[in-house]
Amino acid sequence: MPVRGMLRQPGQRGFTLLEVLVVVLLVGLLAGLAGLAQVDSGGQQARRETERLRSLFGLLRQDALLSQRDYSLRIERRGYSVQVLDLDGEWRPAPGYRPQTLPENLRLNLEAGADAPTPGRSQRSRAPQLLVLSSDEITPFSLRLEYRGQPLYALSSDGLAEVRVEAL
């Protein structure tokens, strides 16, 4: 016995309410997922920058050992740059390493060894702050990455061991 309304008659056209609701639900879910994929919180940005800095220290140590050249890292609140000691004893921008500017709301806060220049001591000085020597030594330091004034990650080294990352 056929049930009326369950089967479509040959002349009927259109979608049922259930079909329309399923399509609306799927479109809504896809739009929501696309929106979530594009949102980048400060924590994600800070994590990426922390990993980039940790990798940079490792690369500079290897490069210094292999090329027998001394490198330095100049840290500013909004970014950093790599320098190399040339044959004249002058620090120059290192070829192959471009200066990096941090995304908005991210800041760097450096605490270096006692003999390393810091931004507070000499604002006009462009002297390097963190040395990466060809003897596989680096300046002992603690570098905090802050998001809107809140410390999220710290990179540190005693000068001999690999750079450590710590979530704060």
> Within a 13 Å sphere around the CA of 76, how many CA atoms are in the beta-carbon half?
14
C-alpha distance from residue 79 to each of 2, 42, 103, 119 (Å): 74, 16, 9, 13
Task: Tell the CATH topology of 42-167.
Answer: minor pseudopilin epsh fold (3.55.40)
Percent helix, strand and coil across the chain, each to the nearest 5: 30, 30, 45
Confidence (pLDDT) at 85:
93
Q: Which residues of the chain have pLDDT under 50?
A: 114, 117-124
| Domains in the chain: boundaries | 42-167
